Amino acid sequence: MTDGAVQVIRSADRTILRLPDVTSRGSFPFAGNFDLVENAHGMLLVHNEDTVDAGAGFDRHTHRDMEIITWVVSGSLVHRDSLGNVGVLTSGSAQRMTAGSGISHAEYNDSWTVSGLPRHRDPVTVVQMWIPPDSLGLEPDYQDLPLDDALSGGDLVTVVSGMARHAGGTVGRIRNEHVALHAARLEPGQSVSVPESPYGHVFLTRGAVDFEGAGRLEHGDAVRLSRSGGQSVTALEPTELLIWEMDARAGSVR
């Protein structure tokens, strides 16, 4: 294990924004006039865990010059965008969106049919993460990433990456050469190791683990790592976790 800074962020310490049909828990300041780069960890600018009630969602809105990755924790999410993409994502799926010169999209709980009759009344929970792109004004792009089968083996699975070593594979491509996002589903006793990197971010979407050097972590807890990595993460119960590997920090490569 490489020596470095390890900071645990407990679930209860996150900022909570409660709307009538949406509850958003943010690991970084994201609403109002906050400087996203100033409050980032590594390249990670935004990290929100959003729970959306049945019949609710986010109406069409526009993003520019941002790489947006959404991970579905539970339930199902409908995505529609100005490029003509329409899809339904379920647990164990991710979507990668290059906002670039501008893309408009809407996302909502997949609880209603076209006729307006309820399919189900379950909430959907997602983790949305923002990463700055290498260049401004890129051509907008969108990609669905179903990973349920790949996660079944208990290994660390690369979800998206812009790093050279992942080029040419089946990994989702993100337009930032300094980052990679990994995910794992672990049964009790199974372990993965955190990649060694100048910056890292580990988040538990569910379950509980023993994190080497930091002790027990539970759903909603996160670890921010600097000049560190190699720690063993061992599941204490059925667990899902997301790990960002980053070799630079936001604002340092412009």
Reading the block at residue 184, the tokens are 């794992």
Number of C-beta neighbours around residue 227 at 10 A: 13
Reading the block at residue 194, the tokens are 């955190």
User: Is residue 147 helix, strand or coil?
Assistant: coil
List Cα–Cα distances, 167 to 72, 113, 139, in angstroms: 24, 39, 19
Helices (runs of H) and strands (runs of E) counted in the chain: 0, 22
**Residue 61 is assigned to a ligand binding site:** yes
**Residue 178 is assigned to a ligand binding site:** no
**Cα–Cα nearest to 145, from 131, 157, 162, 155:** 157
Order of strands, edge to edge, in the sheet holding 239-246?
Answer: 5-9, 222-228, 197-206, 239-246, 179-186, 157-161, 172-173
- Write out the binding residues: 61, 63, 105, 107
- Write out the binding residues for Fe cation: 61, 63, 105, 107
